[in-house]
Amino acid sequence: MTQDKNKIINIISNNNYDSRKTSQILTKKLEDKGFIIPKKYDKNSVLNICIGGDGAFLRTVHNFNFPKIPFVGINTGHLGFFQEILPENLDIFIDKYIKGEYLVEEISLLEAKVCTKSNCAKLIGINEIVIKGIASKVVHLEVYINDNHLEKFSGDGIIVATPVGSTAYNFSSGGSIVYPTLKTMQITPLSPISSKAYRSLSNSTIVPGDMTIKIKPESLYENSILIINDGVQYTYKDILEIYFTISNMTIFRLVFDENMYWNNLKSKFL
């Protein structure tokens, strides 16, 4: 018997008790409506439902290699900027989904090309990619925008954030909030040193999405750099330069309330 692809929905849950319980309830409700919930991730599905917090959402997107299948999140965590739906509103969500009462939001991703003396490696970030010193050492970084020298940064490190990531680590570090559908990158300093010897920008800088950010560690620090992509750490030997651009890859998210972003900002931060 051939399955209807428009009826296949992936449900991905973390191991939290509330998440697993919500997953069981949601599976039953969707199956009662005629949807097919596969035991394993199905690339032919029409929707990915991620249950958990924002961390679970980020891990899911990375683990399944940034699929074009749209996502929607059910929040059993804390902040939940990616996770729009509350567990008590499952019936409302299913009804709106069946009726097509939602928007599809395209999310731009961040690409970092880490070039060492031997090769270049590519990283794709959803929220942010961070450059720090190993073992919390101070780092000295030359920062360029489209090959124009911006600053010689000295401090704990630099966050390069996407608009959707602007409310995460970036915001906690004093960065600006940027609406998620804008195509920009944001450079946010982490504990910049300001003295007669070192002068670094103390505030975040918004960079248009069609530009390139280049960060070059001083030669003494090319083996002292830690790169953190959406919370996952990477180390490379002999780093020469790191290039940041808006990726050609995107992901998609269903939005059921066009005012949810502003409501989230108020309820989470004020």
171 is in an annotated binding site: yes
Other Cβ atoms less than 10 A from the Cβ of 25: the count is 12
**Residue 48 assigned to a binding site:** no
SS3 56: helix
Query: Do the annotations mark residue 16 as ligand-binding?
Result: no
Distance CA 90, CA 226 (A): 41
Q: Is 61 annotated as a binding residue?
A: no
Flag whether 247 is marked binding: no
Is 55 flagged in the annotation as binding? yes
- 214 labelled as ligand-binding? no
Distance, first Cα to last Cα, the chain: 53
Q: Are 114 and 237 in contact (CB under 8 A)?
A: no
Q: What is the DSSP string of 234-248?
A: EE-SSEEEEEEEEEE
**Known catalytic membership, residue 54:** yes
161 is in an annotated binding site: no
Q: Is 10 annotated as a binding residue?
A: no
Nearest Cα neighbor of 225 from 160, 128, 141 is: 141
Q: Does 199 show up as a binding residue in the annotation?
A: no
Catalytic residue among 54, 147, 210, 257: 54
127 is in an annotated binding site: yes
**Cα–Cα distance between 109 and 102 in angstroms, integer?**
22
Alpha-carbon distance 97 to 130, whole Å? 36
Give me the half-sphere count of Cα atoms (radius 13 Å) on the Cβ side of residue 111. Answer: 17
Q: Does 167 belong to an annotated binding site?
A: yes
Residue 116, annotated ligand binder? no
Instruction: Write the burial class of residue 126 (CB in 10 Å: 0-12 exposed, 13-18 middle, 19+ buried).
Output: buried
Annotated binding residues for NAD(+), written as ranges, equal: 54-55, 59, 127-128, 137, 156, 164, 167-172
Q: Which residues are tagged catalytic?
A: 54
Annotated binding residues, written as ranges, equal: 54-55, 59, 127-128, 137, 156, 164, 167-172
